[in-house]
Amino acid sequence: MLKKFAMAVTAASTMGMSAFAVSETVPSPIGDFDVSMSATLATDYIWRGQSQTQGKAAVQASLDVGHESGVYTGIWASNVDGDVFDGASIEVDYYIGYGNDINDVLSYDLSWNVYTYPGGVGNVEEWIGSLSAYGLTGGVKYAYHPGSSLYKFVSYSHELPYDTGVILALGHTDTKDYLLERRHGETYTDWSLTLAKTFATVDFALMYSDTNLSNSVCRDWYLDRTSSCGSNWTFSASKAF
């Protein structure tokens, strides 16, 4: 399958979320491809503990294609707040990567990602690398355009009985700009706890998230709305096709 359970719940913990692993295998002369799509309704779009929709509901969708070799590509989209993103009302992300198993318990993933905001702020480009074993995933995200930023993250996912799962996630953002003096607020930590449940082929998730981003920085980033960076309960329902 293109997305294993551990990868799916790690994505779910951000509520920038694709549905859990469901795909259709398509044979071809160059090997089998897995194709999956998802649609998600969420009460908010949380990114690193911060609301991207100013506390409003989010509609999200994804399309993923993976080859049996481990190469994959995909597209993911969500609505965002137009005021914060300089007129952009939608975020569209594109990615391509490679993931595989090192042994029976250890796997790795490396991807290149570009985040676009049509009609608004400029694109962001980022490399992501991670290692996973025994439900634990750790990795780094390095954004290099237009600015430089390093995000270190770790998450733990555990499958429970009755198609239920729990996910713990912790991340730390550190903006790197060696030509400019570092300003307050360029480093911060976010964390989340998610309970996920599959019922009647629909994936439900309830997440609590928070960040230690200061109120002054939050006002600067989110147009004087400190609630965008505070503790948040987010509920979502996703369907994979």
Look at residues 45, 33, 108 and name the one whose alpha carbon lies nearest to residue 74: 33
The band of 200, judged by pLDDT with boundaries at 50, 70 and 90, is: very high
pTM of the model: 0.88
Pairing of strands 24-26, 149-160: unpaired
Please state, for a pLDDT cut of 70, what percent of the chain lies above it.
Answer: 87
Q: What is the CATH number of the domain that holds 34?
A: 2.40.160.40
Q: What is the mean pLDDT of residues 62-77?
A: 96
- How far is it, in rounded angstroms, from Cα 90 to Cα 197? 28
pLDDT digits (tens, 9 = 90+) for 164-191: 999 999 999 998 654 444 554 478 999 9
Q: What is the mean pLDDT of residues 161-166?
A: 93
Buried b (16+ CB within 10 A) or exposed e, 130-152: bebeebebebebebeeeeebebe
pLDDT digits (tens, 9 = 90+) for 4-36: 333 333 334 444 444 445 678 999 999 999 999
More confident site: 20 or 76:
76
Radius of gyration for the chain, computed over Cα atoms and rounded to the nearest angstrom: 18
Q: Residue 209 sits in which domain range? A: 5-240
Question: What is the reported pLDDT for 47?
Answer: 96
The band of 117, judged by pLDDT with boundaries at 50, 70 and 90, is: very high
- How far is it, in rounded angstroms, from Cα 42 to Cα 209? 14
The band of 148, judged by pLDDT with boundaries at 50, 70 and 90, is: confident
Q: How many domains does one find in the chain?
A: 1
Residues near 172 by beta carbon (within 8 Å), at least 6 away in sequence: 151, 152, 153, 187, 188, 189, 190
Q: How far apart are the first and last CA of the chain?
A: 13
- How far is it, in rounded angstroms, from Cα 41 to Cα 61? 9
Point out the least confidently predicted range of 13-27, 85-99, 224-238. 13-27
The rounded mean pLDDT for the chain is 88
More confident site: 109 or 241:
109
